[in-house]
Amino acid sequence: MNIQHHISLKTLTTFGIEMYADDFIELTDIALLPELSDVAERKIIGGGSNILCTQSPKGLLIANRIKGIELLSEDVDTVLLKVASGEVWHDFVLYAIKRNYNGIENLALIPGTVGASPIQNIGAYGVEVKDTIESVTYWDWQTKKIITLTNAECHFGYRDSIFKNELKDRFFIISVQIRLSKKQKLNTSYGAIEEELKLMGITTPNSKDVAQAVINIRSCKLPNPKEIGNAGSFFKNPTISVQQFLELKKENPKIPSYPVSNKVVKVPAGWLIEQCGWKAYRKNDYGVHAKQALVLVNYGSASGTELWQLSVDIISSVQERFGIVLEREVQVW
């Protein structure tokens, strides 16, 4: 095994925080998984786009570099693809669009790897990856076996799955089996997409146009991690009871919301954070993005602890003002 030592995480995570891993391996072959099961502690990294490091990772840091996309089966309407976990998510979206395989165009430009996509059930613009996942294959570090879970067995929820709960720290995702449609099934109901398509002068869009609209919106609102360190949405959008929402609406008539059920609504955390005055906040090299308050940023030399403390302060001010406790979406190491 080619284990490297004292490896900087600055370019391995999109927050760009300087931190070192004592032991590090780039994994390109799943044949090494049985041997890696015997190390005392390990952490796995894909695109590093959903991680805030407040301390050096303990144990061996495994970077997932397993590649390959295979067509498993095909019928009149759909294709079933087996996508290796180390593939870059956006490259896979482009691969699908090029072949006219539809269903993930709204998820264009989401950073990270295919293997990370089911863990937090990535989603954007009215689509979640769970809508296309047939099954997920993982290596179980404890039993040292390869296991495949069906979509239902993954217990997908909003930015949630079995991998964040019952299976936490027990798995290494090997591949995700994704079913895409050969027919266009466009989902442009999310307001910003329709507006962007209009700006692009497109009246009868195809999947490629929708992907381009999403790319345009994301590039405009979200900071490019190559320029400003960040991990996308830092918090989840909280869900609250309709009753609590109606109370809040009395004092805040403009509060946006998305219905979840007839008892529960989701409120955009970005709005709550902005109302508390945090949007565009900056101290030293850490702060809150000027165009999207849900994104915390590192302008260069911020530490993980500074960003963590900023998130603590944001959580308390939102709780004080609205009585809502925000949950972090990023993984904190």
- For the annotated catalytic residues, the residue numbers are 159, 233, 329
CA distances from 56 to 45, 53, 306, 329 (A): 13, 7, 15, 20
> Mapping DSSP to helix (H, G, I), strand (E, B) and coil, where does residue 242 land?
helix
Diameter of the chain measured on Cα atoms: 62
Contact between 233 and ligand EPU per CB under 6 A? yes
Q: Closest Cα to residue 330, out of 154, 172, 152, 111?
A: 111
Q: Which residue type does 331 have?
A: Q
Burial class (CB in 10 A: 0-12, 13-18, 19+), 244: middle
Contact between 130 and ligand EPU per CB under 6 A? no
Write the binding mask 5 to 44 for ligand EPU: x where contact by CB under 6 A, - elsewhere.
Answer: ----------------------------------------
CA dist., res. 222 & res. 260, Å (int): 25
Contact between 124 and ligand EPU per CB under 6 A? yes
> Mapping DSSP to helix (H, G, I), strand (E, B) and coil, where does residue 302 land?
coil
Contact between 47 and ligand EPU per CB under 6 A? no
Q: How far is the CB of 194 from ligand EPU (least distance, A)?
A: 13
CA dist., res. 25 & res. 23, Å (int): 7
Whichever of 70 and 194 has its CB closer to ligand EPU, that residue is 194
Q: Is the distance from CB of 212 to CB of 93 less than 8 angstroms?
A: no
**Residues binding ligand EPU: number (CB under 6 A):** 17
Give CA torsion, residues 268, 270, 276, 278, to 10 deg: 170
Place of tokens 């940023």: 297
Contact between 256 and ligand EPU per CB under 6 A? yes
Contact between 294 and ligand EPU per CB under 6 A? yes
Work out which of 47, 223, 229, 232 binds ligand EPU, going by CB under 6 A.
232
Q: How far is the CB of 146 from ligand EPU (least distance, A)?
A: 29
Whichever of 146 and 255 has its CB closer to ligand EPU, that residue is 255
Contact between 59 and ligand EPU per CB under 6 A? no
Contact between 311 and ligand EPU per CB under 6 A? no
Q: How far is the CB of 108 from ligand EPU (least distance, A)?
A: 10
Q: Which two tokens stand for residue 80?
A: 């079933």
Q: Which two tokens stand for residue 185?
A: 């099934």
Q: How far is the CB of 86 from ligand EPU (least distance, A)?
A: 20
Whichever of 162 and 330 has its CB closer to ligand EPU, that residue is 330
Write the binding mask 262 to 281 for ligand EPU: x where contact by CB under 6 A, - elsewhere.
Answer: ------x-xx--x----x--
Q: How far is the CB of 278 from ligand EPU (least distance, A)?
A: 9
Could you say which DSSP state residue 307 is in?
A: H
Contact between 229 and ligand EPU per CB under 6 A? no
- Binding segment (CB under 6 A) for ligand EPU, from list 4-12, 87-95, 138-146, 232-240: 232-240
CA dist., res. 241 & res. 262, Å (int): 9
Contact between 177 and ligand EPU per CB under 6 A? no
Q: How far is the CB of 5 from ligand EPU (least distance, A)?
A: 32
Element (H, E) at 220: helix 207-221
Q: How far is the CB of 192 from ligand EPU (least distance, A)?
A: 6
Q: Is the distance from CB of 74 to CB of 57 less than 8 angstroms?
A: no
Chain positions contacting ligand EPU, by CB under 6 A? 124-125, 221, 232-233, 236-237, 256, 268, 270-271, 274, 279, 292-294, 329
